[in-house]
Amino acid sequence: MAVVDKITSSGTGSGTKLRRDIGLVGLLWASVGSIIGSGWLFGAKNAVMVAGPAAVISWGIGAVAIVLLALVHAELGGLFPVSGGTARYPHYAFGGLAGMSFGWFSWLQAATVAPIEVEAMIGYSAYWKKYVSFFGDLQHTNGTLTVTGFVVAVVLMAAFVAVNFLGVRLLARTNSAATWWKVAVPLFVIFILALTNFHPSNFTSHGFLPYGVKGVLGAISGSGIIFSLLGFEQAIQLSGESKNPKKDIPRAVIGSVVIGTLIYTLLQVVYIGALPGSSFVHGWAHLAYQGIEGPFAGLATVIGLGWLALILRIDAVISPGGTGLIYTTSTSRISYGLSRNGYTPKIFEKTESRGVPWFGLIMAFITGVICFLPFPSWQALVGFISSASVLMYAGAPLALGVFRKRLPNRERPYVLPAAEIISPIAFVVAGLIIYWSGWDTLWRLGVAIVLGYVLLGSYAAYAIAKNLPDAPKMNFKSAQWLPVYLIGLGVISKLGGFGGLNDIPLWWDMVVVAAFSLGIYYWARAVALPTEEIERNIGTIEVVDEGGH
């Protein structure tokens, strides 16, 4: 037997049904294609400028954190293979208020990734201005968009939406083709740089750990490491369109993290080793060489591999483009899931003849365009999205702890070993990554959270007042820990040393975050909904035969 979403029957015509057209390769490549995006083009350079050669350690810590969160999601994805899953697990476990909150975190993260990828595409295009002056008119010197650049960005966002409207089967094929390229090019770069231009002395000549532990930890959130490794959840967001979700979701989640971690860590190593000594003679924080605005392509040119630079500049369109494409898909599926749970109007569930939630795609486009205004450069968006992403992921360990306690006998295609230990550790890790993002990022995230409560809360209040059949129950008692968690992390960040007042010394601040997170974890599990209410909350799914899709 398999647990699938009620919306899975794949009839023709418009309605509220998604079509089960995606196999294992499509799911795996959806996640890998999201992980290998603009992060590989910029992450290695940004990380080494913050942490020096010890950025390799930063990638290792980031990888461990993501693996823990991915393992938790692997069990949940098999347990409840529903579209927009990351936005719905907290709803099942804690009810309306928690579900609405984590749903907003999930949607906010997904909706703002596509604009980041567009920014990356435009940033790398500056090289071509020597041949076509048009490409020199897209960005100001500080990386922000010009009027022309804004128009180009809007057109690229529209292209993502247009491909999505052609249906999930074509989307999966398009993304699979792009992802083969996206995986092959970084692996080829790793091989060429390691073979032709690798200097081990670069790791020690100016100190391996020049900026201390704070640099290593700060690089995890602030330089794009966590952002780069994000994306494994895309297979989960598309669960409602999977041919065999029981087996394929856990495989796709875990497989994508392994592939992404290997590629990014090796890229960081060869990037540091290939740099000419003159590029960091004034210290890693002042790394400089001709063409650094396109880090890998510029480096290839400097060391005499112009042909490799050309391949990289082509990849700078394909890699971010593929990631932006799949995140546009994800955004519409998350809003679909939010609507299924009663947090947004029913129009978000409407699908056209190809089974595409059209209104969610339109809103993804509008949101993406808006993002070009307040956060116009790639670097400014990275820290913000990393925090929103990890805050979204934090709901999964909490939900897993509840389901293990409340639903011990429910069938689990993938059973996480030592879940009683890994689940709270994963929640602590999520809290640390959020904290390492720094106060300057977190207060902006706080503003976005308040905005979400205004938008989703207003609709929930309307639905309750009108006594609509799908009006959500807020279940304030089961979510009593949530405001304490959000406000508490903000207070610790303000008092800590990552952009805050530095009133809590290094190491002690992490002890405080860990202890606080553990307290929240066990508090949340203790006040979660009883089994009967959880069963009612998952009433939007049904049990059918494995082949009955």
pLDDT digits 0-9 by tens, 110-148: 888 888 888 888 877 877 887 888 887 888 777 778 889
- The answer to whether 521 and 396 are in contact (CB under 8 A) is no
| Backbone CA torsion sign across 150, 155, 156, 160 | positive
pLDDT for the residue 464: 87
Burial (CB count <10 Å: 0-12, 13-18, 19+), residue 448:
middle
Contact 348, 359 (CB under 8 A): yes
Q: H helices within 372-504, ranges in order? A: 378-393, 395-406, 419-436, 439-465, 481-495
Give the β-pairing of 2-5 and 541-544.
antiparallel
The pLDDT of residue 5: 36
Q: Is the pLDDT of residue 374 over 60?
A: no
Identify the bridge partners of residue 4 per DSSP, sorted by sequence position: 542
Largest CA distance in the chain: 69
Please state the rounded mean pLDDT for residues 162-183.
72
Angstrom distances, CA of residue 517 to CA of 241, 499, 510, 535: 34, 20, 10, 27
Specify whether the CB–CB gap between 394 and 106 falls below 8 A: no
Amino acid at position 329, single letter: T
pLDDT on residue 378: 59
Span 219-244, mean pLDDT? 76
Question: What is the rounded CA–CA span in Å between residue 276 and residue 301?
Answer: 12
Q: Is the confidence at residue 521, as pLDDT, over 60?
A: yes
Please report, rounded to a whole number, the percentage of residues in the chain having pLDDT higher than 70: 87
Which CATH code, of 1.10.287.610, 1.20.1740.10, 1.20.58.340, 3.40.50.300, is assigned to 19-535?
1.20.1740.10
For residue 107, what are the CA distances in angstroms to 85, 102, 206, 229, 333? 11, 8, 42, 18, 9
- pLDDT tens for each residue of 292-339: 878 999 999 999 999 999 999 888 888 888 778 878 887 888 888 788
DSSP-derived 3-state class of residue 177: helix
Cα–Cα distance measured from residue 186 to residue 38, given in angstroms and rounded to the nearest whole number: 12
Residue 543 binned pLDDT confidence (cut-offs 50, 70, 90)? very low
- Select the highest-mean-pLDDT range: 407-411, 426-430, 469-473: 426-430
Mean pLDDT of the chain: 83
Residues forming beta bridges with residue 53, ordered by sequence position = none
Q: Residue 522 pLDDT more than 90?
A: yes
Rounded Cα distance between 215 and 212, Å, is: 5
Q: Which two tokens stand for residue 305?
A: 């591999």
**pLDDT above 50: residue 451:** yes
Q: Coil, helix or strand for 2?
A: strand
Q: Which is more confident, 183 or 174?
A: 183
**Which of 157-166, 277-286, 524-533 is the least confident region?**
157-166
Q: Assess contact for 124 and 294: CB atoms under 8 A.
A: yes
Average pLDDT over every residue of 154-174: 78
Q: Are 78 and 416 in contact (CB under 8 A)?
A: no
Whether the predicted pLDDT of 12 surpasses 50: no
**Each residue's pLDDT tens digit, 45-91:** 999 999 999 999 999 998 888 888 888 988 887 788 776 567 678 98
**The pLDDT value given to residue 473:** 81
Mean pLDDT (whole number) for 409-422: 87
Phi then psi for residue 22, to 5 deg, are -105, 130
Do 319 and 185 touch, CB atoms closer than 8 A? yes
Residue 20: predicted pLDDT: 55
Cα–Cα distance between 260 and 269 in angstroms, integer? 15
Average pLDDT over residues 150-155: 92
Q: Which residues contact 427 (CB under 8 A, 6 or more apart)?
A: 394, 397, 398, 517, 518, 520, 521
Residue 239: its pLDDT value, please? 64
pLDDT value at 354 more than 80: no
Taking alpha carbons only, the member of 245, 108, 232 closest to residue 541 is: 245
Distances (CA, A) of 49 to 44, 85, 361, 471: 9, 36, 37, 49
Contact assessment for residue 274 and residue 51, using Cβ atoms and an 8 Å cutoff: no
Name which of 5-19, 133-147, 401-415, 451-465 the model is least confident about.
5-19
| Confidence bin at 21 (pLDDT 50/70/90) | low
- 275 vs 417: which has the higher pLDDT: 275
Q: Which of 8-17, 166-175, 385-394 has the highest mean pLDDT?
A: 385-394
pLDDT of residue 386: 67
Q: What is the pTM of this model?
A: 0.78
